[in-house]
A and B are shown apart, each in its own frame.
Chain A
Amino acid sequence: MTVASDGGVPSGPAAGSSSGLVKRFGRALPALPGLAVLLFLFLVPMAIMFVFSFWRTNNDFVVVPEWNLGNYARFFVEGTYLRTFIKTLIMAGLVTVAALAIGLPFAYFLVRYTGKLTQRVILLAVIVPFWTSYLVRVYAWQAILGEHGALNQILQAIGVIKVPLDIFNYDDPGVFVVLTYIYFPFALLALYASLEKFDFTQLNAAQDLGARPDQAFRHILLPQIRAGIITACIFVFIPILGEFLTPTLVGGAQSSLIANLVLNFLRNDQFAEGAALAIIIAAFVTAIMIVFRKSFRVEDVVTSG
Chain B
Amino acid sequence: MADLNRHLGRREFLRLAGAVGATAGLGAFLAACGASGATATPPAASSAPVASGAAPSAAATPGPTGTFNWLTWGDHWYQAEMDKIAADIGIKANITSFSDDIDAYTKVQQVGGQIDLVSEDALWVPYFYQHQLIDAFDINSLKVASQLYSVAREFSIWTSPAGYLGYPNGWAPIQITYDPAHVTPGADSWQLLLDPKYKKRVVVEDQPVEVMAYMGKAAGVKDPYNMTDAEVAQAKALLVQLKPNILRLAPQATDTVAALKNGEAWIATINLGADTAVMDQGGPKLTTFTPKEGSIGWMDAEMLVHGGANNNLLMPFLEVHEQAEYVAANFMINRRPLFSEAAYKLLINQGQQELADHLLFNKPETVNTMTLKGPGTSTQAAIAAFNDVFGS
Contact = CB atoms under 8 A, between A and B. Distances in A.
B287 to A, nearest CB: 21
A261 B383 CA distance: 9
B231 to A, nearest CB: 16
Contact of A59 (B99, B263, B377, B386): B377
Interface in B374-391: 375-377, 379-380, 383-384, 386-388, 390-391
B374 to A, nearest CB: 12
A166 B200 contact: yes
B141 interface: no
Contacts of B100: 267
A267 B248 contact: no
Given A80-B392, A81-B391, A87-B392, A264 B386 contact: yes
Contact of A265 (B244, B248, B383, B391): B383
Contact of B391 (A61, A249, A256): A256
A61 B208 contact: no
A208 interface: no
B251 A249 contact: yes
A169 B131 CA distance: 45
Interface string B229-268: 0000000000000011011110100000000001110000
A269 B391 contact: no
A248 B391 contact: no
Contacts of A173: none
B391 A170 contact: no
Contacts of A86: 392
B106 interface: yes
A47 interface: no
Interface residues of A, number: 34
A59 B376 CA distance: 7
A148 B247 CA distance: 14
A57 B381 CA distance: 12
A254 B390 CA distance: 6
A293 interface: no
A78 B380 contact: no
Interface residues of B, number: 34
B391 A261 contact: yes
Contact of B388 (A78, A148, A254, A268): A78
A254 B263 CA distance: 20
Contact of B206 (A81, A169, A248): A248
A273 B247 contact: no
B102 interface: yes
A81 B390 contact: no
Contacts of B388: 78, 80
B209 interface: yes
B264 A251 contact: no
B105 interface: yes
Given A81-B391, A256-B392, A270 B383 contact: yes
B248 A170 contact: yes
A267 B379 contact: no
B35 to A, nearest CB: 42
Interface string A60-85: 11000000000000100010110110
Interface string B87-120: 0000000000001101101100000000000000
Nearest to A86: B392
Given A80-B392, A87-B392, A146-B264, A269 B106 contact: yes
A252 B206 CA distance: 11
A175 to B, nearest CB: 11
A248 B251 CA distance: 7
A268 B248 contact: no
Interface of B: 99-100, 102-103, 105-106, 131, 200, 206, 208-209, 243-244, 246-249, 251, 262-264, 375-377, 379-380, 383-384, 386-388, 390-392
17 contacts: A59-B379, A61-B102, A61-B379, A80-B387, A83-B391, A87-B392, A147-B262, A166-B200, A169-B264, A252-B249, A253-B247, A256-B390, A261-B387, A264-B387, A265-B387, A267-B100, A269-B105
Given A84-B392, A147-B264, A254-B243, 10 more contacts: A61-B375, A74-B384, A80-B391, A80-B392, A146-B262, A253-B246, A265-B383, A267-B100, A268-B209, A273-B380
Interface of A: 57, 59-61, 74, 78, 80-81, 83-84, 86-87, 146-148, 166, 169-170, 248-249, 251-254, 256, 260-261, 264-265, 267-270, 273
Which 7 pairs, one residue from A and one from B, show the smallest C-beta to C-beta distance?
Answer: A80-B391, A253-B246, A84-B391, A83-B392, A84-B392, A170-B248, A87-B392
